[in-house]
Amino acid sequence: MSDEEHHFESKADAGASKTYPQQAGTIRKNGHIVIKNRPCKVVEVSTSKTGKHGHAKCHFVGIDIFTGKKLEDIVPSSHNCDVPHVNRTDYQLIDISEDGFVSLLTESGGTKDDLKLPTDEALLSQIKDGFGEGKDLIVSVMSAMGEEQICGLKDIGPKSILEPSRLLYVCEEVILATVDVMEQPIAGLT
């Protein structure tokens, strides 16, 4: 053994792994898998029988969740495959810039301005048309392996009459008025 000490400095946050291992034989249709370093949704799984020598093999057919390309892989069923951490988050659409970037309202009240409009023509036209008509839109953002993309849209109706800052002001007035009423003694109870 060596007398040297080894120090490793981790630059990643806890849980920052982009994938986790899962035995190939347990991955099912509609699950996720990494094929050729791309996050894919599994659309077909077939397992070959064990031969005289060797393992049973799983044949995976997947669709890249960001590009839509079809990818295939064959893995021994007892071996581990990488499975991507896939997250879906909803944000309210605030604005669309001229260069194709969107401004989204986060749950904490901040803005997220680093996403481009989707390349899918149908979804793109739904977003642009709805925004142009002044509707309140919620976009779903899929993220996996360091990539993010708008993948869905919900129309929650026409934009509210009050701007958010005015709405907050009105709510504060109502709360303050309620507090004033509660602090006054009620006739007949004193």
Q: What whole-number distance in Å separates Cα of residue 138 and Cα of residue 58?
A: 38
Q: Which long-range contacts (CB under 8 A, 24 or more apart) does 185-190 make?
A: none
pLDDT tens across 91-114, in order? 999 999 999 999 999 999 899 999
Give domain 87-158's CATH number out of 3.40.50.1820, 3.40.50.720, 3.30.300.20, 2.40.50.140: 2.40.50.140
Residue range 44-90, pLDDT digits in tens: 999 988 777 777 899 999 999 999 999 999 999 999 999 999 999 99
- C-alpha to C-alpha distances, 8 to 11, 12, 14, 68, 159, nearest whole angstrom: 10, 12, 15, 39, 52
Specify whether domain 19-84 bears CATH 2.30.30.30: yes
Give residue limits of the domains in the chain: 19-84, 87-158
pTM above the 0.75 mark? no
